[in-house]
A and B are shown apart, each in its own frame.
Chain A
Amino acid sequence: MMELIRLTKAYKGVPAVRDVSLVVQEDEYLTLLGPSGSGKTTLLRLLSGLEKPDAGQIHLNGEDVTYRPPYLRGLGIVQQNYALFPHLSVEDNVAFGLRYRLIDPVTDDSEVKRRVAETLELVGLTGFGGRMVGQISGGQKQRVSLARTLVTRPKICLLDEPLGALDANLRERMTVELRKIRATLGVTFLHVTGNETEALAMGDRMVVLDKGGIVQADRPDAIFSAPSDVRVARFVNTYNVLTGSGQDSVFRTADQLVSLPEEAHGREVGFYAIRQDSVEIDAAGTVPEPGRTSLQATYITSEFLGSRFIYIFRLPDGGVFEVERHLSHSDPVTYKGGETCSLSWNLADALVFDPSGAALETNAFKGAA
């Protein structure tokens, strides 16, 4: 178990990580989601010991390791660019940690060979041991890098955007494999990513970072259905976020009025979010049924994504509003560019946030909780 206590780090006065407290459990897959510049790589480097924090502590199984050098921490980091040793073969790369670590190196060569072969098999690279690093593909390099870390049996394995440089196909396969490999070894994975789908799909638990601080930490489904902050709603990329202000029972945005859920009546509201797949598209001027509310918008274009369509609308203030339609639910409809439509949704599906961005308790939250 690793405990981060109020960790803070700044580069030349610019804070990169501020006041981060988090407990990393044994045997869990934890994903860290944040946009670029949110401090996720810095946080990983602090944990691994490659950087020293300005303030705060890191405890590993109850021991303070904040200022311990990386080679004495027993953590493993898989770097974004793989950082394979170009002058060594795949086998020697993987064996590096076992042979040359300061603490408890494995001197028996046959034992090294056995463990390396075992780990290469785990990552699906049996038979690649003799190749040089320059002779393997990007996806294979990624696995070698993972194997090189896993073979040393780290207490926690830190992965810095491990799938970032892979193409979509490979990325999907590795998503499944990483989870499988982790489950086999029972090692905690701390996976940093800027991709919301990856974070949602892979983590047992997920932490959302913004501007160096933790915004929300929870199960992915909880974060997805009940973002605690409007920033989280934006990161997960499935919400339309409207900016405006609440006036008693209505919310004014882009010179239009939409109804607020009952719980938010009379409260201060700054943001209004609705999931892209809970919105219906009707002809312009359609009056919404009771319990629903609507918004007029201009249709721009649609995007076909295989199993679903994304319809893109423009609001009068220039903002973009997206509606997602699964083809398993409804057949695609063709709209004319420039056509005005009425977009409506159930009030119960709406999420509201106060002007500072914090979520206000509504039915949607209760449903998720």
Chain B
Amino acid sequence: MDGAAVETPIASSVPSRDGPGFFQRHGHLLLLAPGVIWMILFLVIPLAMMVYVSFWTQTTFAIKPDLTLKSWTTFFASETYFGALLRTLRIWLTVLFLTFLFGYPTALYIGQFVRNKTVQTILLVACVIPFWTSFLIRVLAWRPMLGKEGAINILLQGLGIIDQPIEVLLFTELSVIIGMVQIYVVFMVGPIAFMLARIDDSLFEAARDLGASPMTIFRKITFPLSLPGVVVGAIFVSVMVLGEFATASALSGRKVNLLGNIIVTQVGSLKWAFAAVIGVVLTVVMASVITVLLRVVNLRREL
């Protein structure tokens, strides 16, 4: 500091030393560069490539960069492929609704009813214990549970509740939904519990003091204030479910084909252009879902 003060009169006569240096003037660009380069290399270029490739001409054994709409028309004209889009959307909505239905009360319990911070953390960690094992094992573990001679059927038969094993449990859309809900419900619980735990107790006290009953307080205070958590959870679940393929193929016996499964088979048979079309469709669907969800709550203001 002292040195700078002494140098001032000299520096003023030499403009280049007086003004801020190159790093000071362009420092923010320099700091921005790694992120921007990373995003361009690994997000913008691949996305652009995907869109570009979706218009290429596909023959049985080769793909040529001659632009055509053929892959696109095939997708929307085909019952199988367009049906897969509708099925994906239906399963996504069901799973989203069910993860909310099971996740919200769990989060409410952890975030509001458990007052001890340590116990809260322990319970949240307990929710992610299934993640200590591989994703595929978690999915496949449902087979001995839901199968014709699986745990649930044996138990129900043993208790004499049913005579015949329930067959719809495995290798149906139901088993896919059960598997997905179990795997993804945690992503709903976490953000909501976090949001609920952050609400200041004095707000509930104020509402009670103003004469509101516990139910009214939940409807008017607790739920609206936890909404950002619900939206974040919904975004997590949506993005993961929309791109799913492993759960669907493992628990449906390849009967339930989601968009993700079609991409896998198309890539497997080197149909790059068609896989790219589905990729673009999935990206558009996810982008619109996220946009709509963000409209519900202004996350930038809330977080």
Q: Do A and B bind each other?
A: yes
Residues of A at under 8 Å CB distance from B?
48-50, 69-72, 74-77, 79, 81, 83-87, 96-97, 100-103, 134, 148-149, 152
- Nearest Cβ on chain B to A138's Cβ, whole angstroms: 16
**Contact: A75 with B209, CB < 8 Å?**
yes
CB neighbours of A77 from chain B (8 A): 205-206, 209
B287: interface (CB < 8 Å): no
Task: Give the Cβ gap from B225 to chain A, nearest Cβ, in Å.
Answer: 6
B200 CB–A CB distance under 8 Å:
yes
Q: Are B209 and A76 in contact (CB under 8 A)?
A: yes
Q: How far is the CB of B208 from chain A (nearest CB, A)?
A: 5
B210 contact from A69, A76, A87, Cβ within 8 A? A76
Chain B residues bordering chain A, tally (CB within 8 A): 18
Which of A81, A134, A149 is within 8 Å of B200, CB to CB?
A81
B224 within 8 A of A: yes
A69 and B207 contact, Cβ closer than 8 Å, known pairs A83-B200, A86-B225:
no
CB closest residue in chain A, given B204:
A83
The docked-state distance in angstroms from the alpha carbon of A77 to that of B200 is: 16
Say yes or no: A79 contacts B211, CB within 8 Å: no
**Contact flags B225-248 to A (C-beta < 8 A → 1, else 0):** 100000000000000000000000
Would you call B212 and A79 a contact (CB within 8 A)?
no
Minimal beta-carbon separation of B214 from chain A (angstroms): 9
Indicate if the CB atoms of B208 and A70 lie closer than 8 Å. yes
Which residues from chain A contact B203 at a C-beta distance below 8 Å? 83, 85
Identify 22 residue pairs between A and B in the complex whose beta-carbon atoms are under 8 Å apart, listed by A's number: A49-B208, A50-B208, A70-B208, A70-B209, A71-B212, A76-B210, A77-B206, A77-B209, A81-B200, A83-B200, A85-B203, A86-B225, A87-B225, A96-B207, A100-B210, A100-B211, A100-B212, A100-B216, A100-B220, A101-B210, A102-B216, A152-B210
Complex-state Cα separation, A69 to B202, whole angstroms: 16
**In the complex, what residue of chain A is closest to B297 when comparing beta carbons?**
A87
**Contact for B209 among A48, A81, A134, CB less than 8 A:** A48
In the assembly, what is the distance between CA of A87 and CA of B220, in Å? 10
B220 touching A96, Cβ below 8 Å: yes
- B220 contacts across to A, CB distance below 8 A: 96, 100
Measured between beta carbons, the chain A residues less than 8 angstroms from B210 are 71, 76, 96-97, 100-101, 148-149, 152
- Is there contact, CB below 8 Å, between A83 and B205? yes
Which residues of B lie under 8 Å from residue A74 when comparing CB positions? 211
Q: Is the contact region of chain B dominated by helix, strand, or loop, or is it mixed?
A: helix
Return the contact of A50 from the options B209, B225, B301 (Cβ within 8 A): B209
Please state if B212 and A101 are interface contacts (CB–CB under 8 Å). Answer: yes
Most buried by A among B203, B211, B212: B211
Complex Cα distance, B224 from A96, in Å, reads 14
- B216: chain A residues within 8 A (beta carbon): 100, 102
Do B213 and A81 touch across chains, with their CB atoms under 8 A apart? Answer: no
Smallest beta-carbon distance A65→chain B, Å:
13
Taken together as a complex, chains A and B put the C-alpha atoms of A81 and B211 apart, in Å, by 19
**B181-231 at interface with A (beta carbon < 8 Å):** 200, 202-203, 205-213, 216, 220-221, 224-225
Q: Do B224 and A81 have beta carbons less than 8 Å apart?
A: no
Apart from A48-B209, A101-B212, list 10 A-B contacts with CB within 8 A.
Answer: A71-B210, A71-B211, A71-B212, A75-B209, A77-B205, A87-B224, A97-B210, A102-B213, A102-B216, A149-B209
Instruction: Give the A-B contact count at a CB cut-off of 8 A.
Output: 70
- Which of A71, A85, A134 contacts B208 (CB under 8 A)? A71
**Chain A residues whose CB sits within 8 angstroms of the CB of B207 once the complex forms:** 85, 96, 100
**Minimum Cβ distance to chain A for residue B220 (Å):** 6
Do the beta carbons of B202 and A85 come within 8 Å of each other?
no
Q: What residue of chain B has the Cβ atom nearest to residue A104's Cβ?
A: B211
Which A residues are CB-close (under 8 A) to B200?
A: 81, 83
CA gap between A84 and B225 in the complex, in Å: 12
B212 vs chain A, min Cβ distance (A): 5
A81 in contact with B212 (CB, 8 Å): no
- Give Cα A152–Cα B203 distance, bound, in whole angstroms: 17
How far is it, in angstroms, between the C-alpha of A70 and the C-alpha of B204 when the chains are bound?
A: 11
> In the bound complex, do residue B211 and residue A152 qualify as a contact, i.e. CB atoms below 8 Å apart?
yes
B253 CB, nearest partner CB in chain A, Å = 47
Which of A83, A84, A101, A134 is within 8 Å of B211, CB to CB? A101
Which residues of chain B in 255-303 are interfacial with respect to chain A, using CB atoms and an 8 Å cutoff?
301
A348 to chain B, nearest CB (A): 49
Q: Nearest Cβ in chain A — how far from B9, in angstroms?
A: 40
Name the distance in Å between A156's Cβ and chain B's nearest Cβ.
12
In the docked arrangement, what's the CA distance between A78 and B291, Å?
Answer: 39
Contact residues in B for A84 (Cβ distance below 8 Å): 206
Residues of B within 8 A of A71 (CB): 208-213
Q: Which 4 residue pairs across A and B have the least CB separation, nearest first? A: A101-B211, A97-B210, A83-B202, A83-B206
A100 to B206, CA, bound (A): 12
Residues on the B chain within 8 Å of A75, using CB: 209
A85 to B221 alpha-carbon distance, docked (Å) = 7
- Quick check: B211 and A102 within 8 Å, CB to CB? yes
Cβ contacts under 8 Å, B202 to chain A: 79, 81, 83
Q: Is the CB of A79 within 8 A of B208?
A: no
Chain B residue contacts of A83, Cβ below 8 A: 200, 202-203, 205-206
Q: How far is the CB of A135 from chain B (nearest CB, A)?
A: 11
Q: How far is the CB of B202 from chain A (nearest CB, A)?
A: 4
- Shortest distance in angstroms between A27's beta carbon and chain B's nearest beta carbon? 21
Cβ of A76: which chain B residues have Cβ within 8 Å of it? 209-210
- Cβ-closest chain A residue relative to B205: A50
Question: Please, which residue of chain B has its CB at the minimum distance from the CB of A71?
Answer: B211
B208 and A69 contact, CB distance less than 8 A: yes
Q: For the complex, what is the distance from the CA of A243 to the CA of B219, rounded to whole Å? A: 59
Complex: A102 Cα to B207 Cα, angstroms: 11
Closest partner residue, chain A, to B202 (CB atom)? A83
Closest to A134 in B: B301
Shortest CB-to-CB span from A101 to chain B, Å, is 3
Closest Cβ of chain A to B78, distance in Å, is: 46
